[in-house]
């Protein structure tokens, strides 16, 4: 079970890393498109600076909105992948606790078996000494 849980955890971590790389790539691509769009608009609207300022403000707001949507999507994916990992970790801890409990019961049982055996050996020694 531990190997299985470790494998799941490893896969989930890889998915999270992949999601982070995708987010960075999308962000770079978006920035590049924004710069291209701004360059095109700037040359077309140089004669009207007020329109240019409004356009830049709207482009910035749009870029921020896109980034927020992407962030929410990636956060959702990451949380979705972390939920099974947390569940697996809880199961692993429970099983570890049960294993420790079983180990303690085994030790107690061994002690219970050893006491009568030691008494029998002692009686045998006494019996051998009287012969």
Predicted model pTM = 0.38
CB burial string 6-30: b at 16+ within 10 A, e below: eebbeebeeebeebeeebeeeeeee
- Domain, as residue range, for 58: 2-94
C-alpha span between 58 and 105 (Å, rounded)? 70
List, in sequence order, every beta strand (DSSP E) within 5-50.
none
In a domain, residue 57? The reply is yes
| Structural domain count of the chain | 1
Asked if residue 121 belongs to a domain, the reply is no
Chain centroid to CA 38: 39
In this structure, is residue 27 part of a structural domain? yes
- Both structure tokens of 63: 């870029």
In a domain, residue 90? The reply is yes
pLDDT in tens, 68-126: 999 999 888 888 888 888 888 899 999 999 999 999 999 988 887 777 888 888 888 88
């Amino acid at each position: 079970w531990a190997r299985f849980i470790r494998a799941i955890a490893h896969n989930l971590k890889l998915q999270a890393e992949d999601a982070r790389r995708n987010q960075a790539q999308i962000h770079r691509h978006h920035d590049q498109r924004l710069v291209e769009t701004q360059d095109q608009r700037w040359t077309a609207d140089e004669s009207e600076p007020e329109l240019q300022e409004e356009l830049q403000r709207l482009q910035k707001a749009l870029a921020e909105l896109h980034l927020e949507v992407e962030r929410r999507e990636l956060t959702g994916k990451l949380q979705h992948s972390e939920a099974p990992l947390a569940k697996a970790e809880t199961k692993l801890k429970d099983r570890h606790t049960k294993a420790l409990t079983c180990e303690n019961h085994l030790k107690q049982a061994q002690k219970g078996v050893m006491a009568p055996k030691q008494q029998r050996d002692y009686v045998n020694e006494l019996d051998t000494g009287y012969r």
